[in-house]
Amino acid sequence: VQTSRPCGRWVVGVFQGRLIRSGALLCSGVHIGADSIIGHNTIIRARANIGTKSVISHLVCLERDANIGNNVRISALTHITGNCFVGDNVQIGARVVTINDNEMRWRAGEILRAPKVLSGARIGSGVTLLGHVTIGENAFIGAGSVVTRNIPEGTLAYGNPAYVQGDRPMGEWLAGASRQLYQSKEEI
């Protein structure tokens, strides 16, 4: 679905394989990939891009020019700031906040630097990502963390401020996905 009209409420329904729940607000230039779901009362600002097979839960706000990859899950009450990049196969927990400016001010004219969450990363519930940080591929951020610096790929980080605590726990991450995969194969 590609929108070309000003912001407005959409009626619940399925549009070309995309499910848009009641109360969702989509602004102009929004692109939603095939087989994606937009939750109740979610706001998607101008020119945001959502890849295929992604789930944006209820009461989420995607600001202008946010770029969300394929197979992404963003849980309820999360705020994705303008120009934020979220790679493929990322999971973002509930009440996550991303910030594209580290100072308390109103648009001083500079280009703001939003966080980047690279492919395969997992962000726990209640995390705050400050502007300019990059979360590396397959990194894991523990719930309630405040991320003030880049987190390398394949690591586990948590705390306030978040520090790398070790390598991500591979077995635990894949357990749920594997179980789901095997269930699907058994049903065939």
Query: Could you tell me which CATH class the domain 1-71 is placed in?
Result: mainly beta
Over residues 125-181, the pLDDT tens digits come to: 999 999 999 999 999 999 999 999 999 999 999 999 999 999 987 665 554 444 444
Of 94, 99, 18, 87, nearest in space to 59 by CA:
94
Distance of CA 2 to the CA centre of its chain: 19
104 near 135, Cβ under 8 Å? Answer: no
Q: What are the extents of the domains in the chain? A: 1-71, 85-103+111-188
| Whether domain 85-103+111-188 has CATH 1.10.3720.10 | no
The backbone torsions φ and ψ at residue 31, rounded to the nearest 5 degrees and listed phi first, read -120, 130
Dump strand ranges (E) for 65-130. Answer: 67-68, 73-74, 79-80, 85-86, 91-92, 97-98, 116-117, 122-123, 128-129
pLDDT band for position 112 (cuts 50, 70, 90): confident
For the entire predicted model, the pTM comes to: 0.84
The per-residue pLDDT of the chain, averaged, comes to: 86
pLDDT, tens digit, 9 for 90 and up, residues 9-29 = 554 555 677 899 999 999 999
